[in-house]
Chains A and B, each alone.
Chain A
Amino acid sequence: MKATQSWSAIDSKLLIKEVAGRLDQPTRRAFLRQSIGLGSLVMLSDCDITDGLGAENALRAISRMNDRVQAWLFDKDRLAPEYPESAITDPFPFNAFYKQEEAPDVDPSDFALEASGLVDSKASWTLAELNQLPQVSQITRHVCIEGWSAIGQWSGIRFSDFLVRIGADRRAKYVGFKCADGYSTSIDMATALHPQTQLTLRFRNRTLPRQYGFPMKLRVPTKLGFKNPKHITTIIVTNDFPGGFWENYGYNWFSGL
């Protein structure tokens, strides 16, 4: 698997700001002052005892090994625990690589979801069409890579049903997602076909709010939060590793729970 840059161009200033926000103060100052390449961030701070690039390559190789271990550990029939309505976290936290008020404002009237890659039907889908498909609901725990977690209720189309409907090649390796906010990510086909993986249109039985991903997100309760893309505009079924926004900066690709 090779990390390729398949995600659309994003606002680099915004990205630098966001990444800097996740650094410690001294590192952040050095980062902003020297505009160090993002790829070398791994070695910033306190680990200059080894050749930066060599260590980073080794760490990324181990991360790819961890992808394979996690794929092996993944049980397609094991369900994420579900919770009662009383367990729902209120307010549910907002998290993205930008501030809440900068979340994209998608116009529902001219929205169309594109399906591309190894699919029979490349017709796009309006929100009205998607809302007419059979709906399912779940109350599950969203676990963020930062460590916090929150329980929410998501409703929408079982993603495996949708893949069948668009005639996706379900032997393909990956399903990639492109989003209205410039975000992108991708998941393995086994997870895409998991019964709880959901193309979500509603949060707590109301239309998915803008900050949680209007008009739709992918809810994957078997993966970390950043593998749950919001504001999805395009779904790509492919055998070419699509990578993703955070994955390209070193977040583990599989990131299964």
Chain B
Amino acid sequence: MSAVSAKPPRIHPLLVRTTHWLNAVAVTVMIGSGWQIYNASPLFPFSFPGTFTIGGWLGGALLWHFAAMWLLVVNGMVYLSYGIFSGRLRRKLLPLRPSDFVRDLAAAMRGRLAHADLSTYNAVQRAFYIGVILALVLVVLSGLAIWKPVQLQALTAFFGGYQSARVVHFLAMSAIAAFVVVHVAMALLVPRSLLAMFRGR
């Protein structure tokens, strides 16, 4: 067994790696097609450049959006069920103390946050991962609210009506997009972490 123990320990089980990359595909398609849909009737005084959109026109983007939503939701439910019932989410992301977050954020800003141990997340990482999971739940719920404002009218009312559910959907997308930018930048800065998401170790 010496050959096995010489390898670094496995930090991402296969199920986590698979759902991670499927989620990456789903989020990319949802955001790209969502930007194209947004452009048909912009909520704010700007549009997304066509280069970063998926679908070519409103009808194409909607086909992509309402196809990738299944991948996003089913894959997300598999990931969350596994994470909750295996205890992995709790083990990896909790506890999250505000004092630790402030300390780690200050260290990160000075470029002094250690990444030696990939198996343990610092408080900033924990906050980011919890935050993006919540943003993904919010984007799905607000998406359902604007997709089905009659059949799911209680949900739409919960978001303050159709118009504000649209704004919530947009803001949740913005939070996810911002996370992706930071997340990808950090993965590229610490290539071992990117490798671990393929190999598991």
Contact = CB atoms under 8 A, between A and B. Distances in A.
Interface of A: 19, 22-27, 41-47, 56, 58-60, 62-63, 66, 73-75, 78-81, 141, 143-149, 221-222, 246, 249-252, 256-257
Given A47-B54, A145-B58, A250-B60, A62 B148 contact: no
A62 B71 CA distance: 12
B166 A147 contact: yes
Contact of A45 (B50, B70, B150): B50
B198 interface: no
Given A63-B63, A250-B60, A45 B55 contact: yes
Interface in B111-141: none
A257 B26 CA distance: 23
Contacts of A143: 149, 162
18 contacts: A27-B50, A41-B56, A41-B59, A45-B53, A45-B54, A47-B54, A74-B151, A75-B151, A78-B150, A145-B40, A145-B62, A146-B41, A146-B58, A147-B38, A148-B41, A149-B162, A221-B150, A250-B59
B148 A256 contact: yes
Contact of B63 (A44, A60, A75): A60
Given A26-B51, A141-B149, 18 more contacts: A23-B56, A24-B56, A44-B60, A45-B56, A46-B50, A47-B56, A56-B63, A63-B63, A81-B149, A143-B162, A146-B41, A146-B58, A246-B59, A249-B59, A251-B62, A256-B151, A257-B149, A257-B150
Nearest to A46: B54
A139 B164 CA distance: 20
A69 to B, nearest CB: 9
Given A46-B54, A47-B54, A24 B39 contact: yes
Interface string B24-66: 0000000010001111110100000011111111111011101
Interface string B149-180: 11101000000001100100000000000000
B67 interface: yes
Interface of B: 32, 36-41, 43, 50-60, 62-64, 66-67, 70, 148-151, 153, 162-163, 166
A42 to B, nearest CB: 4
Contacts of A149: 162-163
Nearest to A249: B59
A73 B63 contact: no
B53 A252 contact: no
Contacts of B150: 78-81, 221-222, 256-257
Contact of B56 (A27, A60, A66): A27
Nearest 4 CB-CB pairings of A with B:
A24-B50, A44-B56, A42-B60, A146-B41
A76 to B, nearest CB: 11
Contacts of A62: 63, 66-67, 70
A78 B38 CA distance: 29
A44 B57 contact: yes
A14 to B, nearest CB: 16
Contacts of A146: 40-41, 58
A41 B61 CA distance: 10
Contact of A42 (B52, B56, B149): B56
B148 A73 contact: yes
A207 B40 CA distance: 30
A252 B65 CA distance: 11
Nearest to A21: B57
Contacts of B55: 42, 45, 47
